[in-house]
Amino acid sequence: MARRPTNQRTTNQRTTNQRAANQRAGNQRDADQRDAGRRTASRRAAGRPRAEQPQAQQPRAQQAPAEQPRVERGAARRITTRNARFQQWESLLTNRNKRQRAGEFLVQGVRPISLAVERGWPVRTLIHDAGRPLSRWARELLAGARDAEHVAMAPELLAELGEKNEAPPELVAVVGMPEDDLNRIPIGEDFLGVVFDRPTNPGNVGSVIRSADAFGADGVVVTGHAADVYDPRAVRASTGSLFALPAVRTPSHHEVMEWVDRARRADGLPVVVVGTDERGECAVYDFDFTVPTLLLVGNETSGLSNGWRERCDHLVSIPMTGAASSLNAANAATAVLYEVARQRAAARRPGAATP
């Protein structure tokens, strides 16, 4: 009888332990089920955005290019430091060789830039002031020049590309050079061409181009070792006429005379080569300029080269009074061009006699 209580207590303890184990197992199953449910819900929630995200973003990626215009001011490239691109443009101001290698030059001013665009010159880049509101002219020019690159430049940098003694420009254009082809200049029955032989002053080059344009010339040829037609000072002095009148550079007089001789043979045009010289055979107003004429203007200091003198059919002089011994080359060219235009206008009047 002493063993029964011991066995009974053992049995009761086993029963209690078994119930506790079952309870723990049940609690663990419930916890596992809850965790599994949460993971399933989390995967479903996470899966929906991943599946829907491409559908929501794809239309925006496809529509973005269509919403942007081809060229807009907001898309202009910004330059705020003296980077390589700025230095390249800066070199075009002073380095003729770099202008020639790049095949481009800088233009500023409302009239020159407007004429370059109107006459179809290749405007490669338009650089505008990023620090101030643009004028109506500048806004319209930028909006219309869709093939040109647009650059918004810091004002202090743009001022370095402008004239040293003037206010910073609002706009600077980078324009491509045309070929130096004499056939750009037409030779017809009323031909008037101007040759500027070895000029040293770029301002004089631009002034001669301007006067030639004003008085009806067909083109200007700059020969020999000379100031550059596309030097900023020449471009400025032409006040836009560079873009309205062909201006061609040649190494010497030989290329020009071959071109004139071909026109003489092919078309039978009696082109007369007339040089200006203080010891000319007659005064400028005594010579008949109503015939096809190639007018020669010499270097500012030494006049016409020997090569050109040998090819001249006639030499004319400009009568002067007073203490002045000579005229500036550009002024002399202007005086003779005015006389040519006067004679030709008079010859076109009914009943007018040939000068």
What are the mean pLDDT values of the chain's consecutive 10-residue runs (355 residues total)? 46 54 57 56 47 41 36 69 96 96 97 96 96 94 93 95 83 97 96 97 98 98 97 97 98 96 88 94 96 96 94 95 88 97 93 59
Which CATH fold would you assign to the domain 182-348?
Answer: Alpha/beta knot (3.40.1280)
Range list for CATH 3.40.1280.10 in the chain: 182-348
Residue 217: both structure tokens together: 């010339």
Which CATH fold would you assign to the domain 75-176?
Answer: 60s Ribosomal Protein L30; Chain: A; (3.30.1330)
Identify the pLDDT of residue 35: 57
- Is the torsion defined by CA of 338, 340, 345, 350 positive or negative? positive
Q: How far apart are CA 212 and CA 191, in angstroms?
A: 12
176 CB-near residues (< 8 Å, 6+ apart): 103, 104, 121, 122, 123, 124
Identify the pLDDT of residue 17: 55
Q: How far apart are CA 153 and CA 137, in angstroms?
A: 18
Q: How far apart are CA 260 and CA 250, in angstroms?
A: 13
Identify the pLDDT of residue 167: 81
Determine the 3-state secondary structure of 276 from DSSP: strand
Using CA atoms, how far residue 286 sits from 118, 126, 283, 336, in Å, is 39, 49, 5, 12
Burial class (CB in 10 A: 0-12, 13-18, 19+), 267: middle
Range list for CATH 3.30.1330.30 in the chain: 75-176
297 CB-near residues (< 8 Å, 6+ apart): 194, 195, 196, 197, 208, 276, 329, 332, 333, 336
CB 116 within 8 A of CB 243: yes
Q: Which residues pair with 219 in a beta bridge?
A: 193
Identify the pLDDT of residue 238: 98
